[in-house]
Structure 1
Amino acid sequence: MTSVRILSRAEAARIAVQAQLLTAQRPGDIVETVQSLTVLPIDPTAAIAPTADLILWSRIGWPYEPSDFRRLFHDDREIFEWHGFYRPMSDLPLFLPEMRRGPRSASARDWVASNERFRRDILDRLRVDGPLRPTDIEDTADVPWRSTGWTNDRNVLQMLEILTGVGEVAVDHRDAKGRWFDLAERIYPEVASPPDDDAARGRAERRLSALGIARRKATAQPGEPIDVGDIGVEVIVDGVDGRWRVDPILLDAGASDPRTALLSPHDRLVFDRVRLREIFGFEYVLEMYKPAASRRWGYFALPILHGDRLIGKLDATLDRRAGTLRINAVHEDEPFAGSTADAVDAEIDDLARWLGVDVARP
């Protein structure tokens, strides 16, 4: 009988941090970073910077330029967008089998079947005039899309979302007003895809390499799972119920040079709030949807990483008109030692320099 290896929480945290490229050994460029992280969340909130930009800056540092990312996405086609995430184009073959299975929900499948003429109209319009915004496309739906949310009766956008999900349409680029869509054949390269089972295993392997440590099975997430099945090495984390899977490359990698980082609330290191508590002992809630009086840490507080520990939250707001990064508060989970406070201040200064503004401290 093979014994299961037991990791301390500190060892588990070290693995997660290394997997997410948050050590002093920074990655060299954007493509390398996206390939290692596997996904970059897309979120329109820009209290400080767009989510993908903030995540890339936190890894690459001052050399990162958002214009370089846009070029890699739109011009060079090194990155593509699918199901709410930017992804490396090198991973496209792993997602083609999932795309080809068709819409995920029965209601979406039935709606598309009832609107076959509408579907053809959109594809024909993109073929002639694409790329286009949703507002550029005529709504010829026979059956409207019904939901209790914001997509109700937004037929063009909903059909574009579904066609993007199944790989007939793709996001060409984004501007200040949102996404432009085109035929996927103009955006995606012609690549062979592996069989379904091999693709699913490949996706899980890629996911574990980016997370470092993950559950075998977890609650389903929109867009990108957080579990990995039987991939990797099974371990126990001391003091935490259940078992985990770990990337074998990182299991015995040893310590690396630490650094301090300011993270997006949507960063994959902190996105899984259950794992966040179990491994890092860190409590975090994104409070932008709470009334101001109910917030503990701020509208869009940034988790603060120091070495392999999450030690607090930064409540800051970018004021472009005033040319300042306004520091509302630095919430210390435990009082910072002098060297820790200096490291956090230095990272705040670096963030402001990258944004091209001054720091306004209370």
Structure 2
Amino acid sequence: MHRLSRDDARRIAVRAQLLDADRPADVVEVAEQLGAIKIDPTAVISPSEHTICWSRIGWAYEPGQLSKAVETDRQLFEYDGQFRPTSLLPFLWPLMRTRTLRAATREYLEANARFRADILARLTSEGELLAADIPDTSQVQAKNEGGWYGSNQVPRMLELMMYLGEVAVSRRVGRQRVWDLAERVYPTGLPEMSPEDAETALAARRLQALGIARQKSSWSGVGVAGEEARVEGSTWVWRVDPEAIAALEDDPGGRAAVLNPYDRMLFDRPRLAELFDFEFVLEQFKPKSQRVYGYFAHPILVGDRFIGLLDAALDKRKENLVVGAVHELVPFDDEEREMVHAEIRDLAEWIGVPVRGLD
């Protein structure tokens, strides 16, 4: 069993997420390490997939690099709202093909068997298509739980077929997904693997991305991958990536990072609280009167501590990055303030606009 100080545990977590001073070279390296890059249309500053890459790579990142890696080089692929490295496909494929669905979803698919076959036939004969180009021939409509779907059943059916490995997102036109048969998007000759072995391999990759996570946590999905660890001041049983332990001796140091609210570093909220003493609440879905830090506040990491939140947005004409507030969770010292302000200015310059409202 490993016994870690809280400082070392945080350093492992930060480095695993590529948020230390040693920046990665390109988007493929980012995706390989993180395992997934979240896609979200909310672009208060910049879409999540681009901010996530910029937060790691910095000035060398351009949005076109991501689309090239997905659409031309096929080193990444889109699945379930995230860009993932193609190296994960051998592990995801067996799970797609054997996915257990809820009873209501199974009934929906059975009732719409002809609709599902229509989509496959159209893609087979016509090639890749936007959802808008596929007729809705559904026999039964699904309940619109949560209000995420309209009456058109095509987007819902395509997503279910994607989960089952029948269709895939080939590319995007703007924010719209272009669909094709999975066999024409994914590489052929994937190795045979049982679902159990695939899940074990995925648990190890999840731990690689996190560095350290609570054992058997539903938030992290690491199961019992890696090695057991105890962290100073925590009663949890942790799992730690042994390669991350070995890398502690080679410490490149920390830096400032402004993180998109959908950043993978922030997903495991209990871990954030336990290791970083950081209670992050996304206020996007709160009434304005109940917001404390802003509609889409970006957490600010300096070294291995979350010290603030940036409330900023592009103006309506997208000509300026307007800073509403830099909330200090702990008082910034002069060096921290300089680092944070420099990172915000770099963010604005990367987008290509001046920053306004930053003291």
Give the aligned residue type for 1:122: I
Alignment-derived partner of residue 332 in structure 2: 336
Q: Shift of residue 174 of structure 1?
A: 2.1
What amino acid sits opposite 2:265 in the alignment?
A: L
* Distance across 2 between alignment mates of 1:229 and 1:284: 24
What is the Cα deviation at residue 315 of structure 1?
A: 0.6
1:157-212 Cα distance to aligned partner (Å, 9 max, x none): 11111110011100112233521211111110112232222211110111000000
Q: Deviations over 1:106-148 (max 9, x none)?
A: 2222221222111110011111223212221111112222243
SS in 1 for 2:244: helix
Q: Does 1:148 align with 2:153?
A: no
* Distance in 2 (alpha carbons) for counterparts of 1:13 and 1:256: 14
CA distance in 1, matches of 2:145, 2:338: 49
RMSD: 1.5
8 Å CA contact 1:115, 1:142 repeated in 2:
yes
- Which residue, out of 274, 278, 284, partners 1:278? 274
Report the counterpart of residue 165 of structure 2 in structure 1. 167
Task: Spell out, residue by residue over 1:261-311, the C-alpha distance to the aligned partner (whole angstroms, 9 max, x if none).
Answer: 101111111111111110000121111111222111111111111011111
Partner residue in 1 for 2:228: 234
Is the partner of 2:77 in helix, strand or coil?
strand
Within 5 Å, give how 1:155-234 maps onto structure 2: 155-190=153-188, 191-219=190-218, 226-234=220-228
Shift of 1:322: 5.2
Contact 2:217 2:223 in 1 (8 A): no
Summarize the alignment of residues 1-362 of structure 1 with structure 2, pairs less than 5 Å apart: 4-102=1-99, 104-150=101-147, 151=149, 153-190=151-188, 191-219=190-218, 226-254=220-248, 255-319=251-315, 321=317, 323-361=319-357
Aligned length: 354
Secondary structure at 2:56 match in 1: helix
Structure 2's unaligned 5+ residue stretches are none
Secondary structure of the 1:269 match is helix
Higher mean displacement: 236-245 or 37-46:
236-245
Q: Spell out, residue by residue over 1:311-333, the C-alpha distance to the aligned partner (whole angstroms, 9 max, x if none).
A: 11011101262521111100111
| 1-structure distance, mates of 2:70, 2:78 | 8
| Shift of residue 152, structure 1, vs aligned partner | 6.2
Residues 99 and 165 in structure 1, CA contact (< 8 A), matched pair in contact too:
yes
**Which is further off, 308-317 or 321-330?**
321-330
- Which amino acid counterpart does residue 115 of structure 1 have in structure 2? N
Q: Tell me, in whole angstroms, the C-alpha distance in 2 between the residues paired with 1:13 and 1:5.
A: 14
Amino acid at match of 2:311: D
1-side partners of 2:192 and 2:198: how far apart?
8
Judge conservation of contact 1:21–1:59 (CA < 8 Å) in 2.
yes
Change (3 A) 1:33 1:148: closer
Residue 351 of structure 1, CA deviation: 0.5
Task: Check the 8 A contact 2:78/2:169 in 1, yes or no.
Answer: yes
What TM-score comes out, normalization by structure 2 length? 0.95
Counterpart CA distance in 2 for 1:302 and 1:148 is 29
Distance in 2, Cα, partners of 1:198 & 1:114: 33
Q: Secondary structure at the match of 1:6?
A: strand
Show structure 1 runs of 5+ residues with no match.
220-224
Q: Which amino acid aligns with 1:176?
A: G
Q: Distance in 1 between matches of 2:260 and 2:20?
A: 16
**1:68 alignment partner AA:** Q
Cα distance in 2, alignment partners of residues 22 and 142 from structure 1: 49
The one-letter amino acid of 2:244's match is: L
Partner of 1:222: none
Contact 1:325 1:359 in 2 (8 A): yes
SS, match of residue 146 in structure 1: coil
Separation in 1, partners of 2:121, 2:48: 34
Contact 2:21 2:253 in 1 (8 A): yes
